Each structure stands twice: as structure tokens, then as C-alpha cells.
Amino acid sequence: MYMKEELLDKGFLHLVNQSEESLKSFINSLGEIIFTTDVIIKPDSKGMITSARGLDFHTDHHKAKYIVWYCYKQTDKGGESILIDAESLYEQLPKNYQEQLKGIELFEHKIFPDDKESYPFIAIDENGKKKFYYSFWLVKNEDKQNPAMLELQKLIRQTEPIKLKLKEKDILVVDNHRVFHGRTPIEGSKDRFLKRFWILPHQL
């Protein structure tokens, strides 16, 4: 139970040296898997997740309340996961900028058949809590110079992120509606393999 409390409190949870059985049990306690991805390096990949490039801060698809990564192998240099609390960033913005961001929609990260053309930067869940959806590459052209969006991106650059380097058998879970995540460039051996799960919570 304390693990879920920590996840609720901090927006992320790092568990070390966990078996695959523990992984399955933990995921089952969170909800159901709606999408699974092998995060590996593919030479000359144009896809961001399978390249060796660093990834700037973003959220994944908004249908995923939680993202879980399980580490099978880790490169000997780079490849750190980086995390920033989006709620904290938002609360630092002036009220007029907060209101402007409420009116901004980003291009949809199209994965599922019912995905639409756009999705709001801030949505409200069934409990009245904010759900953040952000990727700099999905910001529409007309919003890229919006003062509120520019100020948000400035805050992201100025904020010291939480940095974690997953080791073999480690689990990282983030609240995808609250925490922006990214990664540093994958260097060295590049022999890195994570499995990523998108989780839809159990209905109460």
C-alpha cells in the first residue's frame, strides 16, 4: 500500500531489483495494460523512442494514467530518465498565463482508433483534478509564440529535474497526467532495453 501512497504523493515511484512476477503484480494493482512498447535502439531510427537521441520533457498518450518501465538492460553511459512535476510548474505561472494554457489544445498523439485531431493541454478528470498533456513537438504553430507557452517552456529549462538511471530489474512508474518525463541521450554501449506499459486505472 505504501508504494501507491508514494506514487500519489510524488507522482512517480522507483522500485529496484524487481522480478517479472512482481512487475505483473504491481501493474495489476494499478489497472489494465492498454499499450506495450519495447524501448530499444534501432540504428538510423527516425522514431524518437527507438533512437539514441535524448528526449525533451513530455507526456505520453493521455489515455494512459500511468506509464510503467521495466529495465532489462541499461547502457553504460547516458540513458537517464528525467522527471519534472507539471503541477508544480503550472502553479508557478501567473494566473493570466494559467488561464491562457487552459485554452490551448495540442495535436493528438494518434495511437488508438478513436483519437481526435487535438487534445487540451489541461483537461479535468472525473475527480476534478488537472490532467496535463504536453509535448513540444505537438504544440500547434499558432501557439508556439504564446507568452504562456513560452513561459512554461522557460520554467521547464530552469527547473532541475529528478534524474534516475534504471538498472537491470528496476521499475519506474510515473503519473502521466501529472509528471513530464524525458531522457538523456543514450551513449556508450547503447545496449539498452526497457519495456514500457501504458496503464488505464481500474474503474471504481
The pLDDT assigned to 14 comes to 97
Write out the chain's pLDDT in tens, 204 residues.
567 788 989 999 999 999 999 999 999 999 999 999 999 998 777 788 889 999 999 999 999 999 999 999 999 999 999 999 999 999 999 999 999 999 999 999 899 999 999 999 999 988 889 999 999 999 999 999 999 999 999 999 999 999 999 999 999 999 999 999 999 999 999 999 999 999 999 875
- Alpha-carbon distance of 58 to 179, in angstroms, equals 8
CATH architecture of 2-190: 4-Layer Sandwich (3.60)
**Nearest Cα to Cα of residue 191 among 174, 170, 175, 168:** 168
**Nearest Cα to Cα of residue 71 among 191, 169, 154:** 169
As given in the structure block, the three cell numbers for residue 184 are: 538523456
The pLDDT assigned to 67 comes to 98
pTM of the model: 0.95
**Main-chain phi, psi angles of 23, to 5 degrees:** -60, -50
The pLDDT assigned to 45 comes to 74
The pLDDT assigned to 142 comes to 95
The pLDDT assigned to 2 comes to 63
